[in-house]
Amino acid sequence: MHSFKTESKKLLDLMINSVYTNKEIFLRELISNASDAEDKLYLRSLTDPDVDLGSEELTIRITPDAQARTLTISDNGSGMTAEDLERNLGTIAHSDSEEFKTANSDAQNSAIDIIGQFGVGFYSAFMVAKHVRVVSKAYGDTQAHAWTSDGLEGYEIEDAEREGHGTDVILTLKDDEEPGANGEGGERYSQYLEEWTLRELVRRHSNYVHHPIQMMVTKSRQKPKPEDAGDDYKPEYESYQELETINSMTPIWKKRSSEIEQKDYDEFYKSTFHDFEDPARTISFHAEGALEYDALVFIPSRAPFDLYSRDYEKGLALYSSNVLIQEKCADLVPDYYNFVRGVVASPDVTLNISRETLQQNRQLHAIANRVEKKITAELEDMRDNDREAFEKFFENFGRGLKYGIYASYGMKKDELADLLLFWSAREQKLLTLREYVAAMPADQHAIYYAAGDDRDRLAKMPVVESVLAKGYDVLLCTQDVDEFCFQAMRDYTAKDLPKVYEDEAAREAAQKAQADGAEPEREDRTVELHNVTSGDLDLATDEEKKAAEETAKANDDLLSALKEALGDKVEKVAISTRLAADGAPAVITSEGPLSLEMEQVLSAGPESGDVPRAQRVLEINAQHPVFEKLRAAKDADDSDKINLYAALLYDQALLVEGMMPEDPVAFASKVCELM
């Protein structure tokens, strides 16, 4: 027996117990080794006239034997001599494939894809096997040799028998382990002898290895009908076995989009990502140069049921050398595009030793940036050329785009803002922010919006109606993330719009220049985002402002009494400049960074007890008949009535805002008292 060196024994133990996190990876590694052996022989056949071989002759065979508890992975590739077995399997972390790839880098082509890098994949077999026997015969040799080991102390190499060139890796699987009393632990190694499991592992990890992977599979067929069978004969069936290729070999993403129909993409998407609807858009592209990769990305037609759950995992499937590395590589897509599904395949990404995870590097970052730009461009095309489809997309995934702006503290607004849609109170349809700005009157300098939980209620709010009366549109925002998104954005820049001339002389001069053949002037227009219930919208005329100031000064005693009646419920009571004469008697607004809508959203969260309150302002409509009642109560020095009116105005203003009074029972009692 040949003993592993002390260092090798420690390394082997590390390989078996630490490097790989998933036992099923062993099959991927052994198939990859078999594929490498076949590629080496095929490459040799291209330069050596003595090697008479075509690539179609090279196959990989999987043979389970449930009775003997063995699983055999066979290839008819280059094979190994006794010296090769000693060097490649007796020396841990020695990669013959890596040496071969380096030595023949100039001769490789698209039909050859050497996978091995680290020389440790073979030892993953010991995660599931208690004994491994490798029988190999080098091409052109007459003698086969066998390498056997239990993965503990050492290995043996001896002469063996094998009919043709190639290698058989024979695993004797470990005994099944029973789970513990609490249901933990236990391992059913016999599952790796089951046809369905083996097919699924090949499909998941090695489906696109470019050599046929074959296995005897059980099928059913109808027996011939006996000649003497009567009319009541029922068909009988029998099982039989047939050698079948169980991998696809050619990845769909390797084909150019001009070579494949959309229905093929649709079928691949539905079968791979378990969706019953065709994707809304398909993005396929190839990159060459310093970094080579293929990408096939799908924008789904509907949101998966768990998209906004804590357990949802984003990411694209990552392949290297046609072998699955990560089923969901989260680093390939940003969080706001977490709904995107697809595949990225690159031979250039730097893998860690287990090939289950990636080394973080600039290559991966470059791929992710390109994928993100392609997705953004596709969504922009959908927005501009298929508005109905884009609105359906936004209904499913728009929340995530808004959250992307908020979570990046506004850093991503330039990339995402033009993909957002909001309901226009004036146009009664969804608009982009650019469309809103393009339709603004020349004297409008802000985007106005109202946030709440119901579009119809928002449209009826007095402050919304007053802004609409000024001739300005209002965006009605009904998702809880809307206010946070706009707060993070602060402003929006609409690019390349027709220039707006506020000065009549400048407008006439521009029109004359265009009549003489000049190009129309364009400009980028930056506008702030204003919540109609927060802060001073500055929409009142100078006369209206002056009248409000005079009214406030003349009724300072009344405003002070109302503030005293409400206590710390409000920061102040003021005369409103945003309410029309026939509008509401009062409205609740806010000052500072926290709006009423943000307060409601935060209050609904798990930390509702610690949520800060908005700085509330009760604005009184001095043109409303109720104001005269307030003035009369103050003149009569009726403090009880002042207190009653103040509480009622405050609570009804809260209701208009979609907020419950702090004490609904007291509110109902006050209404009855007034009646």
Q: 297: domain CATH number?
A: 3.30.230.80
Q: What is the mean pLDDT of residues 252-279?
A: 87
Residue 97 has pLDDT above 50, yes or no: no
CA 637 – CA 631 distance, rounded (Å): 10
Residue 204 has pLDDT above 70, yes or no: yes
Looking at per-residue pLDDT, the higher value among 588 and 9 belongs to 588
Let me know: does 91 contact 299? Beta carbons within 8 Å.
no
Residue 189 has pLDDT above 60, yes or no: yes
Instruction: Tell me the residue range of the domain where 276 lies.
Output: 252-385
Q: 220 forms bridges with which residues in the sheet?
A: 239
How would you classify residue 107: left for phi > 0, otherwise alpha for psi between -120 and 50, otherwise beta?
Answer: alpha
404 occurs within a structural domain: no
Could you give the 3-state DSSP secondary structure of residue 45? helix
Same domain, 552 and 513: no
The DSSP string of 239-293 is: EEEEEEE-S--S-GGGS-GGGS-HHHHHHHHHHHHT-SS--SEEEEEEE-SSS-E
The DSSP string of 539-603 is: -S-HHHHHHHHHHHHHTHHHHHHHHHHHGGG-SEEEE-SSS-TTS-SEEEEEESS--HHHHHHHH
pLDDT at 582 (0 to 100):
79
77 occurs within a structural domain: yes
Residue 392 has pLDDT above 50, yes or no: yes
pLDDT interval class at 183 (50, 70, 90)? low
Contact residues for 318 (Cβ-Cβ < 8 A; gap 6+) = 324, 325, 326, 329, 332, 343, 344, 345, 346, 349, 358
pLDDT tens by residue, 65-77: 999 999 999 999 9
pLDDT at 133 (0 to 100):
96
The CATH number that applies at residue 155 is 3.30.565.10
Same domain, 120 and 22: yes
Name the one residue in this structure whose structure tokens are 């030892």.
123
Same domain, 554 and 666: yes
Same domain, 577 and 645: yes
Same domain, 128 and 165: yes
Let me know: does 122 contact 12? Beta carbons within 8 Å.
no
Q: Say which range, 258-262, 279-283, 597-601, 607-611, has the weakest mean pLDDT.
A: 607-611
Q: Say which range, 207-211, 350-354, 550-554, 649-653, has the weakest mean pLDDT.
A: 350-354
Residue 112 has pLDDT above 50, yes or no: no
394 occurs within a structural domain: no
pLDDT at 12 (0 to 100):
62
pLDDT at 255 (0 to 100):
79
Same domain, 376 and 450: no
pLDDT at 47 (0 to 100):
81
Residue 336 has pLDDT above 70, yes or no: yes
Q: For the chain, how many structural domains are there in total?
A: 4
Helix (H) or strand (E) holding 131: strand 129-137
222 occurs within a structural domain: no
CA 272 – CA 5 distance, rounded (Å): 45
227 occurs within a structural domain: no
pLDDT interval class at 599 (50, 70, 90)? confident
Q: Say which range, 58-62, 115-119, 277-281, 437-441, has the weakest mean pLDDT.
A: 115-119
Same domain, 518 and 546: no
pLDDT at 602 (0 to 100):
79
Let me know: does 629 contact 638? Beta carbons within 8 Å.
no
CA 512 – CA 521 distance, rounded (Å): 12
Looking at per-residue pLDDT, the higher value among 206 and 675 belongs to 206
Query: What's the mean per-residue pLDDT of the chain?
Result: 85
pLDDT at 346 (0 to 100):
87
Q: What is the mean pLDDT of residues 659-674?
A: 79
pLDDT interval class at 575 (50, 70, 90)? very high
Same domain, 58 and 146: yes
pTM over 0.85: no
Q: What is the mean pLDDT of residues 195-219?
A: 92
pLDDT interval class at 580 (50, 70, 90)? confident
pLDDT tens by residue, 525-546: 999 999 998 888 888 888 888 9
Which of 216, 243, 272 is the last residue in one of the domains? 216
Residue 403 has pLDDT above 50, yes or no: yes
What are phi and psi for residue 607, nearest 5 degrees? -105, 40
pLDDT interval class at 596 (50, 70, 90)? confident
How would you classify residue 148: left for phi > 0, otherwise alpha for psi between -120 and 50, otherwise beta?
Answer: beta
Same domain, 115 and 195: yes
Q: What is the mean pLDDT of residues 133-139?
A: 95
332 occurs within a structural domain: yes
Q: CA of 553: how far to CAs of 87, 546, 558, 574, in Å?
A: 97, 11, 10, 10
Q: What is the mean pLDDT of residues 364-368?
A: 88
Q: Say which range, 165-179, 314-328, 441-455, 563-577, has the weakest mean pLDDT.
A: 314-328
Burial 548-565 (b: 16+ CB within 10 A, else e): beebbeebeebbebbbeb
Q: Say which range, 221-225, 336-340, 536-540, has the weakest mean pLDDT.
A: 536-540
Let me know: does 594 contact 615? Beta carbons within 8 Å.
yes
393 occurs within a structural domain: no
| Percentage of the chain exceeding pLDDT 90 | 43
pLDDT at 118 (0 to 100):
37
The CATH number that applies at residue 512 is 3.40.50.11260
pLDDT interval class at 100 (50, 70, 90)? very low
262 occurs within a structural domain: yes
Same domain, 381 and 489: no
pLDDT at 258 (0 to 100):
78
Burial 357-372 (b: 16+ CB within 10 A, else e): ebeeeebbeebbebbb
pLDDT at 116 (0 to 100):
42
Which of 484, 506, 531 is the last residue in one of the domains? 531
Which among 555, 556, 559 has a CA at the least distance from the CA of 571?
Answer: 559
pLDDT at 265 (0 to 100):
92
Which of 504, 531, 558 is the last residue in one of the domains? 531
Residue 507 has pLDDT above 60, yes or no: yes
Residue 166 has pLDDT above 60, yes or no: yes
Residue 644 has pLDDT above 70, yes or no: yes
Same domain, 265 and 360: yes
CA 504 – CA 278 distance, rounded (Å): 53
pLDDT at 306 (0 to 100):
84
CA 427 – CA 453 distance, rounded (Å): 20
Helix (H) or strand (E) holding 625: helix 625-635
Same domain, 339 and 475: no
Sheet of 572-575, strands arranged across: 572-575, 615-620, 586-591
Q: What is the mean pLDDT of residues 417-427?
A: 96
Q: Which two tokens stand for residue 291?
A: 């970094």
pLDDT interval class at 117 (50, 70, 90)? very low
Q: Say which range, 20-24, 324-328, 651-655, has the weakest mean pLDDT.
A: 20-24
Q: Say which range, 91-95, 363-367, 392-396, 454-458, has the weakest mean pLDDT.
A: 91-95
Q: Which two tokens stand for residue 28?
A: 């991927």
CA angle at residue 144 from 140 to 149, to 5 degrees?
A: 140
The CATH number that applies at residue 668 is 1.20.120.790
pLDDT at 172 (0 to 100):
96
